[in-house]
Structure 1
Amino acid sequence: MRIYITRHGETQWNKKGLMQGWKNSDLTEKGIENAKRLGESLKDINFDVIYTSPLGRANETAKCINGNKDTKIVLVESLKEMGFGIWEGMENSKLKELYSEQYNNFWERPHLYKPHENGESFEELLLRVKTAWNEILKAGGNNILIVTHAVVLKTLYMILKNLDLKDLWNPPFMKDTSLTIVEVIGNKVKIILEADTSHLE
């Protein structure tokens, strides 16, 4: 079983430096173009199914990658981005100013991060990402595509590499439409490509 994993394309909020999360922001022209380029690079792969976060930016990315193919796209609630509550839609620079301790914890000491009002903790996120991953493995298939978000991707890396939460932000950085490929044989999981962006060159 080979699982291809990507992050959604660039969004309007990415471009403006705003915190995303469960709130959605549309893809930019660049985001759409890059997703199509990833789709072109994967055109010879026959995916059994595409699992995507239900958030518009991920779902649209999945459709761009799928192109004219009739591969089934399945929305998976537990693949949506981490929830940031009242932080969502705010400028990152403003968050750093108003919530400096927890904002810095989020990026530098994730094991100490405590979410603000209506936000999601890393522990909650980890639980649902594990659930999503196990359900995808259980469903099986030969070639699977997952379209999700940066923090979900890093959390999945943490699971696959058996990392501690404090090491969440270890390289690589998950750029928009970067591609990671995971091979699953029995109980063995091997990452064979990490955060590749060669389709954008």
Structure 2
Amino acid sequence: MNLYFVRHGETEKNKSKCYYGSLDVELTKEGILQAEKARELLKDVSFNKVYVSEKKRSVNTAEILLKNKQYKLITDMRINERDFGEFEGKGHEELKQLYPKEWKAWCEDWKNASPPEGESCIQVFERVKSFMDDILKLEDDNILIVTHGGVIRSVYCYILGGNIDYFWNFGSNNGDISIIKYEYGNLYIDSITHV
């Protein structure tokens, strides 16, 4: 089985360097171009299934990737980006000013602490784990999964035995294609391509 993970194209919020996950934002012109470049790299792959997060940046990226091809998009909230709660749409400096106590707790325990009304990194990992457990039960050859950077990093942690400590050991740029293979009970990262 080949799992093709694609991170959605760039958005204005990516450019502004703020925290956002649950905000539903559009692709920029650059984000559209990234999706088109990824489409060119994947043009010869025939997918059995296509999964997308609930966010329009993922759906739009998938639609560009699959232009002129007939695929049903399967929406799964387990591959939504992390919900940053009250931290949504804000940057480091603003958070330090508005939420000094919560910001400090978050910085001291990035795995378990949650922004107010948001999710912890562990909570995101647990839903991504549930998604991956279900995907590995399928008997398909090629699956496309269009999602978010935090989800893809969580997938890498899943591959590395579920150790969330590896979360910051990988990058995931907008438009990146990560090919994960599942063969003979072994799951591994086959390649990561920057577009």
TM-score (norm 1): 0.88
User: Where in structure 2 are there 5+ consecutive unaligned residues?
Assistant: none
Name the structure 1 match of 2:12. Answer: 12
CA root-mean-square deviation: 1.7
Percent identical residues:
30
Deviation readout 1:50-72 (Å, 9 max, x if unpaired): 11101111111111111111122
Matched, 1:176 2:174: yes
Deviation readout 1:75-99 (Å, 9 max, x if unpaired): 1111000111001111343224544
Could you tell me whether the CA contact under 8 Å between 1:126 and 1:155 is conserved in 2?
Answer: yes
Separation (CA, whole Å) in 2 of partners of 1:15 and 1:86: 20
Separation (CA, whole Å) in 1 of partners of 2:145 and 2:23: 20
TM-score (norm 2): 0.91
Deviation >3 Å, runs of 4+: 96-100, 102-105
**Could you tell me which amino acid in structure 2 is paired with residue 186 of structure 1?**
Y
User: Where in structure 1 are there 5+ consecutive unaligned residues?
Assistant: none
Cα distance, 1:104 vs. partner? 3.2
**Could you tell me which amino acid in structure 1 is paired with residue 115 of structure 2?**
H
Separation (CA, whole Å) in 2 of partners of 1:167 and 1:183: 19
Count matched residues.
Answer: 192
Name the structure 2 match of 1:2. Answer: 2
Name the structure 2 match of 1:35. Answer: 35
Could you tell me whether the CA contact under 8 Å between 1:36 and 1:67 is conserved in 2?
Answer: no
Separation (CA, whole Å) in 2 of partners of 1:92 and 1:30: 24
Name the structure 1 match of 2:183. Answer: 185
In structure 2, the CA distance between the partners of 1:166 and 1:188, relative to structure 1 (3 Å rule), is closer
Cα distance, 1:47 vs. partner? 0.9
Structural mapping, 1:1-201, within 5 Å = 1-98=1-98, 99=100, 100-105=103-108, 110-111=110-111, 113-162=112-161, 164-170=163-169, 172-194=170-192, 196-197=193-194, 200=195
Separation (CA, whole Å) in 1 of partners of 2:105 and 2:174: 25
